A = this chain, B = another copy of it.
């Protein structure tokens, strides 16, 4: 039995990272508005894998669809959400790329504005804390988003209220063109969080095991009533900020140096070394998943438009679901 079927931790994560990469790369080909997440998979897979069903997931926008996949979302439906077509979970009303699976246990972005979802995540943690039961929230955000005022306010409030939440800074070293080490003055987000009374740790964000283990330690603390923690995961945005980013703000040497640390290749190597996979099997599996997701995304792209009628109100009572089923 190879890593393709077995459920060693690393094998599971590797497959999740492959799935994320395959969806991501298909989107890069078919969607000019996509934000590529290549290179950062170890952060969001490590941070969001293996949680309980009643935990709340609040991913960073870059990687949000991958986290939905991790939770079992159907990639065809996810893709429909991204394209805003008829099968979109929102009926085409809203962007499935940054808000793939909004619900009581999944936080998305409800405008294009960064930072607020961290507050929503902490609010969910407050709700879980009041309900008891030991569930928690994982909230990821980018290095750039870390400088938003609402993030600072939320970290303080989460610490003051000892909320069951694990913050993950997915530091891909850039906010579009601005380097994180310029924009984030001082010694970085872990030091900031510590100053707020939040236990923090620095991890290699290209090592899925390291991210996962840090998450587990933080999760144990949160479930035991020990309050919030922060994980600073350093990784690299291997692609541009968006499609057709001229990338004049960084050198190709830098990009190449980080390409050599691709978290997928790294996990695959570890599996091969552990005898759970041969290089050929790995390559074949990846090819297959890339092809499968290419197929799904290409099909989704050509789907029927939403064609939903425009409602004459944004109030909850005017939405179809509530009109049909009464108050939820």
Point out residues on A near B: beta carbons under 8 Å. Answer: 147-153, 156-157, 159-160, 182-187, 191-192, 194-198
- Which of A149, A192, A195, A198 has the largest count of B CB atoms less than 10 A from its CB? A195
Contact in complex: A159, B186 (CB < 8 Å): yes
10 additional A-B residue pairs with CB within 8 Å, beyond A149-B150, A187-B197:
A149-B153, A156-B186, A159-B186, A160-B182, A160-B185, A185-B198, A186-B194, A186-B195, A192-B196, A194-B195
Look across to chain B and name the residue whose beta carbon is closest to the beta carbon of A188: B195
A160: chain B residues at CB < 8 Å are 182-183, 185
A196: chain B residues at CB < 8 Å are 185-186, 192
Look across to chain B and name the residue whose beta carbon is closest to the beta carbon of A146: B156
Once the chains are docked, how many angstroms separate the CA of A70 from the CA of B44?
55
Look across to chain B and name the residue whose beta carbon is closest to the beta carbon of A190: B195
Once the chains are docked, how many angstroms separate the CA of A159 from the CA of B191?
15
- Which of A152, A182, A185 has the largest count of B CB atoms less than 10 A from its CB? A185
Contact in complex: A191, B195 (CB < 8 Å): yes
Once the chains are docked, how many angstroms separate the CA of A182 from the CA of B195?
14
A192: chain B residues at CB < 8 Å are 192, 195-196
Once the chains are docked, how many angstroms separate the CA of A129 from the CA of B177?
25
Once the chains are docked, how many angstroms separate the CA of A198 from the CA of B191?
13
Once the chains are docked, how many angstroms separate the CA of A147 from the CA of B157?
9
A153: chain B residues at CB < 8 Å are 147-149, 152
Look across to chain B and name the residue whose beta carbon is closest to the beta carbon of A147: B156
A136 to chain B, nearest CB (A): 18
Of all A-B residue pairs in the complex, the 6 with the closest CB atoms, nearest first, are A149-B149, A186-B197, A152-B152, A159-B185, A191-B195, A186-B196
Once the chains are docked, how many angstroms separate the CA of A192 from the CA of B196?
7
Give 14 A-B contacts (CB < 8 Å), ordered by A residue: A149-B149, A149-B151, A149-B152, A149-B153, A152-B153, A156-B184, A185-B197, A185-B198, A186-B194, A186-B197, A187-B195, A187-B197, A192-B192, A195-B195
A113 to chain B, nearest CB (A): 13
Look across to chain B and name the residue whose beta carbon is closest to the beta carbon of A182: B160
Once the chains are docked, how many angstroms separate the CA of A191 from the CA of B194?
9
A195: chain B residues at CB < 8 Å are 186-187, 191-192, 194-195
A182: chain B residues at CB < 8 Å are 160
A147: chain B residues at CB < 8 Å are 153, 156
Once the chains are docked, how many angstroms separate the CA of A295 from the CA of B185?
50
A162 to chain B, nearest CB (A): 9
Look across to chain B and name the residue whose beta carbon is closest to the beta carbon of A150: B149
A185 to chain B, nearest CB (A): 4
A156: chain B residues at CB < 8 Å are 147, 184-186
A191: chain B residues at CB < 8 Å are 194-195
A92 to chain B, nearest CB (A): 33
